[in-house]
Amino acid sequence: MKPFLEHINPHQNNAIIARKFIQPNVDIPWHFHPEYEIILINKSRGKVFVADAHTSFDQGDIFFIGSNVPHLFINDQEYYENVAGLYLDIVVVHFRKDLFDGGIANYTESQSLKNILSQSMSGLKILGDENPVLAELLIKMPESKGMVCYSGLINFLTALEKGNSYTLLAEKPFSEKLTLQRPGKLEKLDNFLVNHYHENITVSDASNLIGMNTSSFCRYFKKHTRMTFSDYLNQLRINYACRLLLNNTLSVSQICYEVGYNNISHFNRQFKRICKKTPQEYKKDFHAI
């Protein structure tokens, strides 16, 4: 089966995206993405497929999957039957392929990072006594921002390489070239949103634009983005709000309406949910640098 391309966060320029997911079960099919992926299984069990390899996963396991390597996590069957007490609790860290490119890649100090990134193209399952230390680093990352998040990633990769407490899942690194083209329907929607994000756009508007009924569109959109349409639109608007805040020419109230919100309280709540700080704090922190 051909894997589909997942776009992790198309409207933000973050080099690292760390998120915590708590939900009934795994709900994303066979897929790949240019970003490297690290997954900590806090609670759950099932099977994982990476390229042409497969193994089981259970509470405490950590996996590291290379750029554009297709993969799939599937829970044990009872997780799809609404059994009480069974749910998925994971931390997922994605980081861009070019994060360690350029000058840093040419220095001796970076060799260990280059080695572990290269090995991740086979898929890594992390074992042994190193797990608690590595897990603690990952648990902190969703609440970290900026250089703190970057430092957490460096510490994780360094500890992983130094501890050598992992196994390779596939016999050889995945090297097949996969197409990075976004599904046509989402490409059309993206083009529309970039030009109209500041308008009052409903789920019905979006589904009509690409010729789907609302319920089918919601399933399709969540499958390909891991977000609801509402979350996706909010993230796009807040991303533009961040750019305007950095320009320092408009007030927070003006920016609120400029990016499509008609209520300053709602704008502030969405901004803090996504950026972990208020617009005023974001603006102050940047201009204090």
Whether this model's pTM surpasses 0.75: no
Q: Which of 236, 229, 223, 234 is nearest to 203 (CA)?
A: 229
What domains are there in the chain, each with its CATH number? Answer: 4-168 (2.60.120.10), 184-287 (1.10.10.60)
Local confidence band at 289 (pLDDT 50, 70, 90 cut-offs)? very low
Q: What is the pLDDT of residues 89-136, one digit of tens each?
A: 999 999 998 887 765 656 666 777 888 899 999 999 997 666 788 999
Q: What is the pLDDT of residues 150-193, one digit of tens each?
A: 899 999 998 888 877 899 998 888 887 766 556 678 878 887 88
Please give the span between the terminal C-alpha atoms of the chain, in angstroms, as a whole number. Answer: 49
Higher-pLDDT residue of 109 and 19 is 19
Q: State both tokens at 264.
A: 């300053």
Q: Can you tell me the distance from the alpha carbon of 123 to that of 218, in angstroms, rounded to the nearest whole number?
A: 31
